[in-house]
Amino acid sequence: MSPPPNIVTDAAQAGEGSKAPDSPTSLKHHNHPHRIFKVYVTGFGSFEKIPINASYLVASSLPSVLPEKYIQHASDSVKSQHLQVSIIPHFEAVPVSYEKVTKLIPTLYQDLPGVDLFVHIGVMPFEYYRIEERARKGFYGPPDNDPNGRGDVDGKYPEGHEAGGAARGKVPKEVREILSGLDVEALCKDLEKAKAESTDDFGIPKPSDDAGLYLCEFIYYNSLAESIYDDEAKYESEYTEPRPVTDPNAETPLSSRAVFIHVPSNMTDEWLERSKETVKRIIGAIAVQRLTP
């Protein structure tokens, strides 16, 4: 299977002295002595009064291999697997467009069945960090009689003001929201403890159940839905996990294969470095949690 055009394969992308990330064609299977936890990261492009989006600057500047200090809190059972967290950024900023997001997400999941975690990053106008615990199907955009709502960069809303096209339309109609299968509160507590033991500057994220019903929540719903419902995008990890990645039969569906992180929209060098460090900490904590029995 040829890699999609939206995947970076150039070995020159390797960062922080680490080796280059695995190419998409090798993401599915490995013969390494390590447990490779594969992460794919997206950030958004410009919209409204944000000409340059901090989320993509953070997503595109993460290291290709996460340094060990970000997973050093793992238990002996996880450390014995010689965990290595590999990160690949999306090749460009994701357009703030309902239509383009609806088309993009199935492509990523179908062409990258070996990715363990899809991390989607967006911005908010606050100086703290959030990990989103749920994504709603709608309502996106204003009522028909209210023209003063937040359309996307093309001035459009999704059909029916809902994420009805998620997972190629395979989501049951009664599913109005999808929850994270991650223990977000535990992640935040782990990072609070790491903060107390570190001199690095990073934020302690807060759990959130309101991703804003705009493109941030829309891409999150699409991603969670794709991981659960689309048979063409099955997760094909070569490793056995101690818990299922998705639970499609639950009354309220769950998935831990995708996460959404809100970072501050602040564009100063100090805040960008802080956001980058925070996201690395979150990714490391998720990898450890996912592999802990």
Q: Which of 89, 146, 144, 142 is nearest to 120 (CA)?
A: 89
Q: Which of 120, 117, 113, 110 is nearest to 26 (CA)?
A: 113
Query: Beta 177-180 vs 134-136: how paired, if at all?
Result: antiparallel
Q: Residue 272: pLDDT band by 50, 70, 90 thresholds?
A: very high
pLDDT per position as a tens digit, 182-209: 999 999 999 999 999 999 999 999 999 9
Number of H helices, E strands in the chain: 6, 10
pLDDT per position as a tens digit, 91-141: 999 999 999 999 999 999 999 999 999 999 999 999 999 999 999 999 998
CATH fold label, 11-291: Aminopeptidase (3.40.630)
- pLDDT score at 230: 86
Q: Residue 234: pLDDT band by 50, 70, 90 thresholds?
A: confident
- pLDDT score at 9: 37
The fraction of the chain above a pLDDT of 70, given in percent, is 87
Lowest-confidence region among 91-105, 220-234, 265-279: 220-234
Mean residue pLDDT across the chain: 88
Q: Residue 6: pLDDT band by 50, 70, 90 thresholds?
A: very low
pLDDT per position as a tens digit, 49-60: 999 999 999 999
pLDDT per position as a tens digit, 157-169: 999 999 999 999 9
Lowest-confidence region among 85-89, 190-194, 238-242: 238-242
pLDDT at 242 over 90: no
Dihedral class, residue 251 (left if φ above 0, else alpha if ψ from -120 to 50, else beta): alpha
Q: Which of 268, 240, 244 is nearest to 256 (CA)?
A: 244
Q: Which helix (H) or strand (E) holds 259?
A: strand 258-264
- pLDDT score at 255: 96
Q: What phi, psi does 220 have (nearest 5°)?
A: -65, -45
Query: Count of CB atoms within 10 A of residue 146's CB?
Result: 8
**Cβ-based burial of 274 (10 A; exposed 0-12, middle 13-18, buried ≥19):** buried
Q: How many whole angstroms separate alpha carbon 45 and alpha carbon 204?
A: 25
Give the type of residue at 97.
S
Q: Residue 289: pLDDT band by 50, 70, 90 thresholds?
A: very high
- pLDDT score at 239: 83
- pLDDT score at 240: 81
CB 273 within 8 A of CB 239: no
pLDDT at 226 over 90: yes
Structure token digits, residue 206: 């807060």
Interval 52-76 mean pLDDT: 96
- Domain boundaries, given as residue ranges, for the chain: 11-291
CB 253 within 8 A of CB 134: no
